[in-house]
Amino acid sequence: MSNDLVPPHVELKRRDFQGEIDGHPVDLYTLRNRRGMVACITNYGARIEQILVPDRHGCLGDVVQGYDTLEQAIAGQPSMGAFIGRYANRIANARFSLDGVLHVLAANDVSTDPAAPRSNTLHGGKRGSRFIPFAATQTSPQAVEMRLRFEDGEEGFPGTLMLRVRYTVTDADELVIGYDAVAVDRKTVVNFTGHAFFNLSGDLGSPIRDTLLTVPSEEVLEIGPALVPTGRMRKLAGTPMDFRAPKAIGADLGADYDLLRLAGGYDIHYVLDREATGANRLHARAHDPHSGRILEVWSTEPGLQFYSGNYLEGRTPRDVGKGGTRFGFRSAFCLEPSHFPDSVHHAHFPSTVLGAGEWYRGEIRYRFRTDRDA
């Protein structure tokens, strides 16, 4: 797509995100670096609503799907741009046992299809962090801090959990998400991720099939019909899931492969660090050949969920975003660093258990540049 065909980005207005939800104030926070990069984040779900970065010609463009107003965000895609907790991704059968005690969770990923029935907890349940206003303070022109308290028993999870999330725009054209959480009073489980929907072209309604993706992983988690891991890890060599070398997202989307059929496209977890060492490592690299923009995702998390926008449908009002842009089928991709899905049921996965008084700390770093700089 030539640069002159890309629509201009929308200027988000703070007043359009100001309001109250359940008595808690909601606002929009704009972060800027010295090079012109901009990130707009609302404390409703700690959602990234906009990221402006230059293309290879130096023209600023918006590279994440989002909404114009708080009302649109509420009516929109439930995970779009959100910081996900207290437990990202799926927990099978909406229940788990911890120290012999069964915890029954809110089931919000449900299907009655006889061929693929499921009743899972997804992204923290019906009232996970994506639907809650965080307490927020902008600490500098380049940073905002957000806090949220999860109560003992909320959505069925045990223990009070205090979460702090810090968004920082650096002068290296990065958006850094630093987060930490403490189990206040009893043992619990935690899993966090960022859920930005990326389209590096700057045209947020255009297909992402041509985007070149690299994921330095040799294994994925096998999933079953309920879209949760079976516990087995599959080698990637010779399969459509292999992105160890740069490959267009759309190159193998039509392949006859069970993991693609089950998820309706890519919606799969890549293994980056089996031992969960906490090392900050490259999780993925995406390159839009039309705009020249490059995104690198670095994180301390052991795995990465790659989602190819399979449930974007251009539906009103859910999929109508900034400037009236319609978010059609596979018009964005998500790269979600986290612990492995359903770890509570697989002892050989890196543990997501957090003991009373223990802290969890993590980081996700979105690093932008262009192929002119490469």
Catalytic positions, please? 195, 336
| Burial environment of residue 48 by CB neighbours within 10 A (0 to 12, 13 to 18, 19 or more) | buried
The residue whose two tokens read 């649109």 is 72
Supply the DSSP symbol for 7. Answer: P
**What b/e readout covers 304-313, taking b as 16+ CB neighbours within 10 angstroms?**
bbbbbbeebe
Distance CA 312, CA 350 (A): 31
**What Rg value do the Cα atoms of the chain yield, rounded?**
19
Distance CA 49, CA 65 (A): 7
Supply the DSSP symbol for 16. Answer: G
Adjacent-strand bridge partners of 111: 118
Supply the DSSP symbol for 129. Answer: G
Distance CA 54, CA 201 (A): 10
Residue 337, helix vs strand vs coil: strand
Nearest to 12 by CA among 58, 43, 52: 52
User: 12: which residues sit within 8 A by CB, 6+ positions away?
Assistant: 28, 30, 40, 49, 50, 68, 322
CA 254 to the chain's CA centroid: 24
- Asked if residue 291 lies in contact with residue 309, where contact means CB atoms within 8 angstroms, the answer is no
- Phi/psi at 101 (5° precision): -105, 125
Which region holds residue 330: left if phi is over 0, alpha if psi is between -120 and 50, else beta? left
